[in-house]
Structure 1
């Protein structure tokens, strides 16, 4: 697995999954040249989606793309994890992933038991999703090395720390490494990551595609310029809560788009959206009126 996987924004409207927006979004991103989709992680509001909402989203995704699918399966309810794995298999996923058990800080044995039990559910490759800024627990290369040594079937890691030293440590293990921090996609590729699972790919998929093409062709200066733009747009929403900043960016730069699932997350205010619009203009981008 390699290339650009979209940490897919899954929009809501009037309290329900906005299937029309999602269908248009998946089709547009496919045409823009992304390599795959990653639903039900952070940008998808995954922890807050019901099992039925996950099924509905996968149905929409499968109807509107032929690209690879990696499904994040974590839930606080183990039976929902089991059922999400089944849905991933049904809709042709090439891999699944999961954050470690969260809320109660896990020790190594908890980690080992969790991923071992997950591996018993499916023959699909399993990726660890490491996002310690949200889970409070960092799955380091040393921990993954222990899991591998103990026979746990880990195919790869999505690492969202933005720590290039840690990315390098994962790469040295010989597993597939996908970068999850938008500000360090290019540096991660340069030290051996196979690609990214990116929230900003919802917003600037064409720029992302060009950056990857530049990197592969050895046009590093051009690739760095595109990485800089991606990082600057990401910076515009850094201080906003939740993930609606990404959803508003899609709305401003691409097409009408739904919002987040309330009340777990909140949409940006009109003043915040205007500030975001002004920031895009300063970067030379042209938000929709």
Structure 2
């Protein structure tokens, strides 16, 4: 089997952004959580993504978080910084700021709400790639943005030397395989239920939300596959499926459920910011019971 193209490692965590009880950025908590995730098997971290509540953190907080995590995990752990906005100019500014703060790459989501056509989507990503020395990971999540990065657009963008990776939440398995076959883009599964299936057809790894809670188990799925034990890899993927469903497929955003469970486990998380709301006590108790049944 050919060597996988995995520029940011294999198991990346889409890290939550810890806040204090007063709702301010918890820099010390972020450092502790990042260290736990790396120690638990995460090769890299994605900061300031949707799971990190990027819509409600300030530009200054984003920079401060990157710097704090970089200081905590050292210079060798890849840090991918979410910089995506609906405004190309602002996205460029965030990308340059992330580079200065210590990020190794930028995660750039498709512009949302305005629903640009494919030519505008392509121009948006090219303008950002031309403005920075950072490698870019494109984030294809049409369920959130309302706009797909279509396979032909992705194939054209792959020709840009700074566009090297994709976080794939397209739910288009056939389209993803087409891009994998025709480009050298490093694909990362952005949906936890797709970690093993996408890896099996040539992806580089995953950007996992549930890794905030069970990093060892997520890393173990890919490690088992790499070791040639595909049966164990499938078993491990199945083992995390109930937790994945509870955290990611409920009516609540993953940020809300993950933070609730982390708080219950006395791990750094803190409250979510409005407009998000914490789950009720019953939901939190169900999450804890599910975690204890499978991972304690």
The normalised TM-score by structure 2 is 0.88
Residue 185 of structure 1 deviates from its aligned partner by 0.3
Mapped contact 1:162–1:183 kept (Cα < 8 A): no
1:260 equivalent to 2:259? Answer no
Counterpart CA distance in 1 for 2:23 and 2:266 is: 22
Mapped contact 1:73–1:84 kept (Cα < 8 A): yes
What per-residue deviation string (whole Å, max 9, x for no partner) do you get for residues 114-137 of structure 1?
Answer: 112101211221221011111111
How many pairs does the alignment contain? 283
Specify the alignment match of 2:10 in structure 1.
3
Counterpart CA distance in 1 for 2:290 and 2:220 is: 23
My pick for the range that moved more, 137-146 or 38-47, is 137-146
Runs of 5+ consecutive residues of structure 2 not aligned to the other structure: 1-6
After superposition, residues 10-159 of structure 1 pair within 5 angstroms as 10-13=17-20, 14-66=22-74, 67-148=77-158, 153-159=162-168
Of 262, 276, 288, which residue of structure 2 is paired with 1:277? 288
Counterpart CA distance in 1 for 2:67 and 2:286 is: 35
Q: Residue 163 of structure 2 aligns to a residue in which SS?
A: coil
Counterpart CA distance in 1 for 2:25 and 2:56 is: 12
Q: Residue 128 of structure 1 aligns to a residue in which SS?
A: strand
Q: Residue 120 of structure 1 aligns to a residue in which SS?
A: helix
Residue 77 of structure 1 deviates from its aligned partner by 4.9
Of 249, 252, 274, which residue of structure 2 is paired with 1:241? 252
1:221 equivalent to 2:231? Answer yes
Counterpart CA distance in 2 for 1:168 and 1:148 is: 14
Residue 79 of structure 1 deviates from its aligned partner by 5.0
Q: 1:207 to 1:148 in 2, by over 3 A?
A: closer
Runs of 5+ consecutive residues of structure 1 not aligned to the other structure: none
What per-residue deviation string (whole Å, max 9, x for no partner) do you get for residues 96-127 of structure 1?
Answer: 12111110111012112211210121122122
Counterpart CA distance in 2 for 1:152 and 1:30 is: 28
Residue 231 of structure 1 deviates from its aligned partner by 2.0
The normalised TM-score by structure 1 is 0.90
Q: Residue 6 of structure 1 aligns to a residue in which SS?
A: strand
Mapped contact 2:88–2:128 kept (Cα < 8 A): no
